[in-house]
Structure 1
Amino acid sequence: MKHLFYLFLFCASVINAQIVADLKVQGNKKLKTSFVKKVSKIKSGVKLDSAMIEADIRLLKRLPSIAHAYYQVFPANKPNEYNVFYNIEENFTIIPSANIYTTNDDEFAYRLGLYEFNLLGQNIAFGGFYQKDVFDSYALNFRAPFLFSRRFGLAVNYQDLTTLEPVFFDNTTADYRYNNESIEALGLFQIDFNNRIEIGLNYFIEDYQYIAGATNPSIPQELRVKKLLYKAIYAYNNLNFNYQYIEGFRSVFNFQYVTSTNTQQLPDFLIGWNDFSYFKRIGEKGNWANRLRLGLSTNNDTPFAPFAVDNNLNIRGVGNLIDRGTGAIVLNTEYRHTLYEKNWFVLQGNAFIDAGSWQNPGGDFSDFIDPDNLRIYPGVGLRFIHKSIFNAIFRIDYGYGITPDATNGFVFGIGQYF
């Protein structure tokens, strides 16, 4: 009966031009009421519109600070005026992050972090991480998508990342200590409910130091280069969230132009990739999740190619940064099923296939169908989910390679893999 009343109410509003007397926010504690009103289209004095209210609720349910949201409508004191109530179920938003990667080659790396996703009650994300992957790394991140208004925001990131990088040339490999220190600033703009863009600059210094392996006179053993990266991101997001379940389509296109002070060893290049994501509910407890990445860069014949093959990025079980290329095609598909759910806790199982292929530096498109460049890793995993803490999903995945010379291993982390 309640839903029929709302349907009647909104149909009548079209005829009678019924007006919103006030927007009231309930259930929020840390999240500021002023913030909810700032990002909502429904405001005092506007026409009562069910489509506008539904759009507000979908936006609120996407925010890290909100576990769930719903609305109610009640008559106000004056004729043809109504109060709209947005009811908020908050997430706990001070969240540790952890990722651990292992393979049967006894590789071991981890990343530990701490983030606040609702700083000052304004849905501002701030935090950082420490990473141990042979060497020490750390980063700080600030992201405020609604800092200036409902549409305009800002992101600033600092990173000092050091890893042991395999460098591939002449059918041989050398190990380098790689350091990337960067500072980045991005302007964030929300075009409408489904579309947003980010534009900004990243200034960074890359430092390569030879450790062991093959050598070649044309490949420097020490290299320190200052670079400037121009970045543009366009995202279309039509995902709908209901606690652990996701449904809909998302596309994120990332384009970068990188200039270098050493164009002989690390020439200027363009790089772009698009992540297509599709989620579908299967019955009451199932969720089919898919991600397809298509990427290309300037096809320089360099051992420092930008697309990596790595446990944490694309192929679970493959190892820690085992190869590089100037192009990538990667498909991750998995079926997630709720095995147990009670109150705030959910146990979810998943079965997945991660598959990808890369274009060799200086190669051509036929590299994508070369069996030597193909990796296929099926696997299974578990998810331990807290429904009222943002991104509180502890995951364990085991990937087993079925292509030649494959590895296998566990990947641990917080949050869904994609």
Structure 2
Amino acid sequence: MRKLTFILVALLAFGHLSAQDEKVVKIEFEGLKRTKEAFLKRLIKTKEGAAYDSLLVVKDVERLNRLTGIAKAIATIAEQNGETIVKYTIDENFTIIPGPRISTASDGSFAYQLSLFEFNFLGNGQLLGASFQRNVFNSFSAFWEHPFLFSDKVGFGLNYQNITREEPVFFDDGEKDYRFNSRMIEGKFLFNFDFNNEVELGVVLVDEAYTFEGDDIIPGRPVNLNADKLFYRANYRYVDIDIDYQYFDGFQSEFTGQYIQFQNGNEAGEDFLNDFLSLRNDFIYYKKLGDKGNWANRLRLAAAIGNEDSPFAPFTLDNQLNIRGVGNVVDRGTAAIVLNTEYRHTLYEKGWFVLQSNAFVDLGSWRNPGEDFSQLFDGTSTRLYPGLGIRFIHKKIFNAVFRLDYGIGVGNDTTNGIVFGIGQYF
């Protein structure tokens, strides 16, 4: 699709080879309903009064297609009295999105999450949303983010979460269930340095507690742990992806680094919840195959430094995060390697509706607390889950991909499971 876009723009520019010397006298937007024209003119690099640059227009189209409020953008070039007019035709997304999700909790009970997000609040790309979750216990969260608050390069965001759930914690003598509660508030700055490079820098204040569930208390194992923590978080994204409705083509790399600093807590918390550094990088590659196929891949590398022996490890094995069919929060690790690869094929498409099939393989390994990095490669903690899925896609609603996957565990003592969610898995 990217090649086709370049060819189309080149053909449009072909009749006036001196276009680089011509001025853009007018920029027009057609099809806008909720998105503000002034907001889009602020983002694009083509400017009225500047020299016309066909490659810059191509980049503008790609950038517009990444905005949450836009389903599809195309550019047309016209000449009027020897001057250049650039018109962007916009097909907008519907961006007020409910997000139901169902699953099975760690105790076997029914779990669900309800959320509502507006991804183009006030027509200028703001995110506003909230969620409620029942996973043994009740949890809720609220989010606000304005990526372009201060300029087309600098934004700001806030979010608050109060999460309570039952989680297994893995000690040498077996698995123990704890009630986990985390109350956090985060403030972050967002930087769009150029078309491909984005950075987030944030600080997170966290009040975190673990409470033992059950009567079989074991000496030496904590009954209550609590700690106040300060997270310093940095996120860097390199994005070079061409989007054409349900099809993606290109590469993305996203790095997240966190330094988690212990502030204060009880004595047990000081023993088990230590300062540490968390590092993670996702490498994502998409390839459009033919007219209806899309090959998608994600390689995730993660490691924690400073809490290698803590049973409260930061990386979880979970249906919604890395391995489909394995269950919810079924294991923890202090390092991980995960590879997800899938082939998406459009079975039916008419108007706004797309029915898409999906065949996938999820493969991952974890380093358990107290183990060496070599465990990532010796096969003792490796999980392999191939599976099939289906996607119901609304092309005009942002992220309106209703997915249903069934993962099948390969090996001894594995599980099979259905995973339902909103949005593509990655």
TM range (shorter): over 0.9
| 1:103 CA displacement | 9.1
Q: Does 1:141 pair with 2:148?
A: no
Q: Does 1:341 pair with 2:343?
A: no
Number of the residue aligned with 2:280: 273
1:22-37 counterparts in 2 under 5 A? 22-37=26-41
Number of the residue aligned with 2:46: 42
| 1:370 CA displacement | 3.7
Q: Distance in 2 between matches of 1:351 and 1:102?
A: 23
CA distance 1:115–1:361, shift in 2 (3 Å)? same
| 1:219 CA displacement | 2.6
Number of the residue aligned with 2:80: 76
| 1:403 CA displacement | 2.4
Number of the residue aligned with 2:248: 246
Q: Distance in 1 between matches of 2:302 and 2:95?
A: 33
How many residues align? The count is 414
List alignment gaps of at least 5 residues for structure 1.
none
CA distance 1:322–1:338, shift in 2 (3 Å)? same
Deviates more, 1:256-265 or 1:50-59: 256-265
Q: Distance in 2 between matches of 1:215 and 1:304?
A: 18
| 1:215 CA displacement | 4.1
Could you list the per-position Cα deviations for residues 346-393 of structure 1 after superposition, in whole angstroms to 9, with x for gaps in the alignment? 000001111110001121012113433111111101000011111111
The 3-state SS of whatever aligns with 2:14 is helix
Contact 1:274 1:295 in 2 (8 A): yes
2:275 partner amino acid: D
Number of the residue aligned with 2:205: 203
Same amino acid, percent of matched pairs: 50
Q: Distance in 2 between matches of 1:112 and 1:211?
A: 26
2:343 partner amino acid: Y
Number of the residue aligned with 1:410: 418
CA distance 1:361–1:89, shift in 2 (3 Å)? same
Q: Does 1:296 pair with 2:296?
A: no
1:21 partner amino acid: V
| 1:121 CA displacement | 0.6
| 1:4 CA displacement | 6.7
Could you list the per-position Cα deviations for residues 122-176 of structure 1 after superposition, in whole angstroms to 9, with x for gaps in the alignment? 1111001111111111111112111111111111111001110101112311111
Task: Give TM-score scaled by structure 2 length.
Answer: 0.94
2:272 partner amino acid: Q
Pairing partner for 1:158 from 135, 147, 160? 160
Q: Distance in 2 between matches of 1:188 and 1:38?
A: 17
CA distance 1:54–1:222, shift in 2 (3 Å)? same
Could you list the per-position Cα deviations for residues 316-370 of structure 1 after superposition, in whole angstroms to 9, with x for gaps in the alignment? 1101101101000011111000000111110000011111100011210121134
Number of the residue aligned with 2:193: 191
Q: Distance in 2 between matches of 1:277 and 1:23?
A: 34
Kindly report the root-mean-square deviation, in angstroms, between the aligned alpha carbons of the 2 structures. 1.8
Could you list the per-position Cα deviations for residues 239-298 of structure 1 after superposition, in whole angstroms to 9, with x for gaps in the alignment? 110010001110000000001124432110000000000011111111011111000001
Number of the residue aligned with 1:219: 221
| 1:76 CA displacement | 3.5
